[in-house]
């Protein structure tokens, strides 16, 4: 019997398994398909900042805990595995089409303690010459970073393997055995496993997983489509973001355009309308992208929660059941802080954040 079974092998599960094993826990990770190939792989890898001394919303506080860890953890991954996850503090421009939009962005950033520089007119043109002249305002966020999702996930797998985490792939969990208020067995399509504690990091599949245990976990799949362009030389080097859409430049001459938000169940496919919407945004933002080559498209299923706040904590119904799910669009950026607080919780230590705002409502 191991100490902890982590159910779900996305960025949340892999990072948690690594940090638990690093602190001496014996860990098994069970993934229904292949680790790191769902929403974690599909994302753009943006790492926005926040300040824990200022931020007061649950997501901003978890982001503030997460963001400072990225340089150190990325360096550790490269040092121990040789895998460069592409971490870099690249900065970003938050775009605003009106004075009221600019003020709204400033208020949000101030509430999270994020440093920014307001740009307009000639200053904006000099800072980002390729930006459409129709865009009147932008806020420069110098602390915004990025990583390459597939590389980071490969690094996490390697970190888990060096710490003897047993990674079990291709085994969907089909049920649980319980006794005296505890989970005694985790049953997959192939085997039965036991652990002192179980943590669900099941992403968009959290609701059906919860149903197996009589828990209502209000997480639903929200499809996000992404388009990849090839453009050399890059016309810009900072992330460009307007509300939920963004352009992320990569050092290898590629540009990610994201992302749609669609209620499409578990259908993970691109659509003509989705791709068209993203390309239109790209050209509206940077006109010279109009004739740029589309290299590929893909889509992922984000784990949406009712308020956009992830669920982190221990279940009331089952003494040894824990959960970390519903990170929506923010799984990768919040994975470091999530691993910190959940490993603390699972190892009976005081948590770095008050987890009550992230708790499931259980009847």
The model's pLDDT over 211-229, given as tens digits with 9 standing for 90+, comes to: 999 999 999 999 999 999 9
Sequence spans of domains, the chain: 2-84+149-218+307-358, 92-142, 220-304
Question: Could you tell me the two tokens for 137?
Answer: 């305002």
Q: SS3 helix, strand, coil % of the chain, rounded to 5?
A: 35, 30, 40
At 362, the pLDDT band (50, 70, 90 cuts) reads confident
Domains 2-84+149-218+307-358 and 220-304 share a fold: no
Tell which residue, 83, 85, 105, has the closest CA to residue 94: 105
DSSP characters for 182-251?
A: EEEEEEESS-EE-EEEEEE--GGGHHHHHHTTT-----EEEEEEEEEEE-SS-S--SEEEETTEEEEE-T
Provide the pLDDT for residue 98.
Answer: 95
Which CATH number describes the domain made up of 2-84+149-218+307-358?
Answer: 3.50.50.60
Tell which residue, 227, 250, 223, 225, has the closest CA to residue 239: 250
Mean pLDDT value across residues 18-23: 99
Question: Could you tell me the two tokens for 286?
Answer: 């940077």
The tens digit of pLDDT for each residue in 125-143 reads: 999 999 999 999 999 999 9
Q: Are 318 and 309 in contact (CB under 8 A)?
A: no
220-304, CATH topology level: D-Amino Acid Oxidase; Chain A, domain 2 (3.30.9)
Per-residue pLDDT for 300 more than 90?
Answer: yes
Per-residue pLDDT for 42 more than 90?
Answer: no
The whole-chain average pLDDT of the chain stands at 97
At 41, the pLDDT band (50, 70, 90 cuts) reads confident
The tens digit of pLDDT for each residue in 190-206 reads: 999 999 999 999 999 99
What global pTM score does this model have?
0.97
């Amino acid at each position: 019997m191991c100490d902890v079974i982590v159910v779900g092998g996305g960025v949340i599960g892999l990072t948690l398994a690594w940090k638990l094993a690093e602190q001496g826990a014996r860990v098994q990770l069970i993934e229904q398909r292949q680790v790191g190939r769902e929403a974690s792989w599909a994302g753009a890898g943006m790492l926005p900042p926040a300040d824990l001394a200022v931020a007061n919303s649950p997501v901003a506080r978890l982001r503030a805990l997460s963001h400072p860890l990225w340089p150190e953890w990325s360096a550790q991954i490269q040092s121990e595995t040789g895998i460069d996850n592409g971490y870099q503090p690249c900065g970003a421009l938050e775009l605003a089409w009106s004075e009221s939009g600019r003020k709204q962005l400033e208020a949000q950033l101030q509430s999270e303690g994020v440093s920014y520089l307001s740009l307009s007119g000639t200053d904006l043109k000099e800072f980002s010459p390729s930006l459409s002249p129709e865009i009147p305002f932008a806020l420069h966020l110098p602390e915004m970073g990025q990583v390459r999702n597939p590389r980071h996930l490969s690094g996490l797998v390697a970190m888990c393997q060096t710490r003897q985490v047993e990674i079990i792939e291709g085994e969907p969990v089909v049920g649980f055995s319980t006794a005296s208020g505890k989970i005694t067995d985790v049953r997959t399509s192939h085997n039965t496993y036991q652990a002192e504690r179980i943590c669900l990091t099941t992403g968009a599949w959290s609701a059906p997983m919860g149903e197996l245990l009589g828990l209502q976990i209000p997480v639903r799949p929200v499809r996000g489509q992404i388009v990849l362009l090839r453009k050399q030389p890059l016309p810009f080097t900072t992330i460009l973001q307007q509300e939920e859409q963004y352009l992320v430049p990569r050092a290898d001459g590629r540009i990610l355009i994201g992302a749609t938000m669609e209620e499409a169940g578990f259908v993970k496919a691109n659509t003509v309308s989705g791709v068209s919407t993203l390309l239109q945004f790209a050209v509206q933002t940077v006109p010279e992208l109009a004739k740029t080559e589309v290299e590929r498209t893909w889509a992922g299923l984000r784990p949406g929660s009712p308020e956009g706040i992830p669920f982190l904590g221990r279940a009331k119904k089952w003494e040894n059941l824990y959960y970390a799910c519903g990170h929506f669009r923010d799984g990768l950026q919040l994975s470091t802080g999530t691993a910190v607080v959940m490993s603390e919780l699972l190892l009976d230590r005081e948590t770095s954040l008050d987890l009550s705002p992230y708790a499931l409502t259980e009847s």
